[in-house]
Structure 1
Amino acid sequence: MEQSKTHVEKELLITHLFNAPRELVFESWTDAEKLKHWYAPDGCTIEFKTINAKEGGFFHSCVHDPIHGDCWIKGLYKEVTFPERLVFSMILSNENGDDVRSTDAGKPEDWPEEVLTTVTFTEIGKQTKLTIHQTVSEAEAKQTGAYQSWIKMFNKLGAFIEGKTQ
């Protein structure tokens, strides 16, 4: 029996449960001041040159990593449905907002030029189930550390939110 040559990689999909109302969890994804508290891997910080979290709005951010250097990302908000769903693109860039190749940004050569990120927020009683889906191979995300960074950032987000709700 011949195996299919159109093997499809499993894309990144993570679910996390927060002890907070979904409006607060959603706002933590769209407010630059809130994002600064959690939206960067451990040991790193983030700054937003631009953020306009509305449908058709743009963002341009930089994660400052003391070991690997700066990582600039830009993107377009394709869908913003408060408090249920966010869909945005993520494109590697430089400080000026010009696209850069994946290898120039320290990613593997086959890293996608544009990653589509979909975040859904589901109310479960007084909790919020967040699901993130990205159009990047889960195996590649685990190899580069992106997958593990999401888990750690969600833990930081949970601690930040619990500090706001107590």
Structure 2
Amino acid sequence: MKQNKKEKELLINHLFNASPELVFKAWTDPEQLKHWYAPDGCTIEFKSITVKEGGSFHSCIHDPIHGECWIMGTYQEVVAPERLVFSMILTNEQGQTLRSVEAGKAEDWPEEIQTTVTFKPIGNQTTVSVHQTVAEAAAKQSGAYQSWIKMFNKLNAIFST
């Protein structure tokens, strides 16, 4: 079952207490990503990551309850400090693509998700908008939506220290 094009896609906006340069760096520096780019109680490891146009990543979120979630992606756009566009596909540790159900997702979960992240300055702060090509309802049901909010809260806490 494919996503109905009339369904609202995932769009989340979040205000960070940091400049666009600092927030963009947190999204592109592997050392910083390790500290916030996983939901509460989970960790992330990068098997590889090259943040540049045409670059790619292969990562795993380790969840003590749900197990491992391997993802690979390619960066289509890297425009510091304004915009990141990258794909995300579910894989195994070896990088072989998995169908959604093989990775523990719902049958209608997209095989590939396009993620667009924009960074807009507002005074000394930055509004980040994340748009993903997945139905918002499906993202909420799977916990992906809630995970973004939790990760953003972790990142905001880092900027507050």
- Decide: shared fold, TM above 0.5: yes
**Structure 1 residues without counterparts, runs of 5 or longer:** 1-5
**Structure-2 residue corresponding to 1:8:** 6
The structure 2 residue matched to 1:90, chosen from 85, 88, 91, is: 88
Give the TM-score, by structure 2 length. Answer: 0.96
Q: Secondary structure at the match of 1:49?
A: strand
The count of residues paired between Structure 1 and Structure 2 equals: 158
Moved segments of 4+, more than 2 Å: none
**Structure-1 residue corresponding to 2:130:** 132
Q: Secondary structure at the match of 1:132?
A: strand
Answer with 1 or 2: which has the greater Rg. Answer: 1
1:148 paired with 2:118, answer no
Deviation at 1:7, TM superposition (A): 5.9
Identical-pair percentage: 71
The structure 1 residue matched to 2:97, chosen from 92, 96, 99, is: 99
**Aligned counterparts of 1:81 and 1:127: Cα–Cα separation in 2:** 18
**Structure-2 residue corresponding to 1:69:** 67
**Aligned counterparts of 1:7 and 1:95: Cα–Cα separation in 2:** 31
RMSD over aligned CA atoms reads 0.9
Give the TM-score, by structure 1 length. Answer: 0.93
**Aligned counterparts of 2:5 and 2:90: Cα–Cα separation in 1:** 26
**Structure 2 residues without counterparts, runs of 5 or longer:** none
**Structure-2 residue corresponding to 1:3:** none
The structure 1 residue matched to 2:35, chosen from 31, 34, 37, is: 37
Q: Secondary structure at the match of 1:37?
A: helix
Q: 1:117 to 1:7 in 2, by over 3 A?
A: closer
Q: 1:71 to 1:7 in 2, by over 3 A?
A: closer
Deviation at 1:162, TM superposition (A): 2.1
Deviation at 1:110, TM superposition (A): 1.1
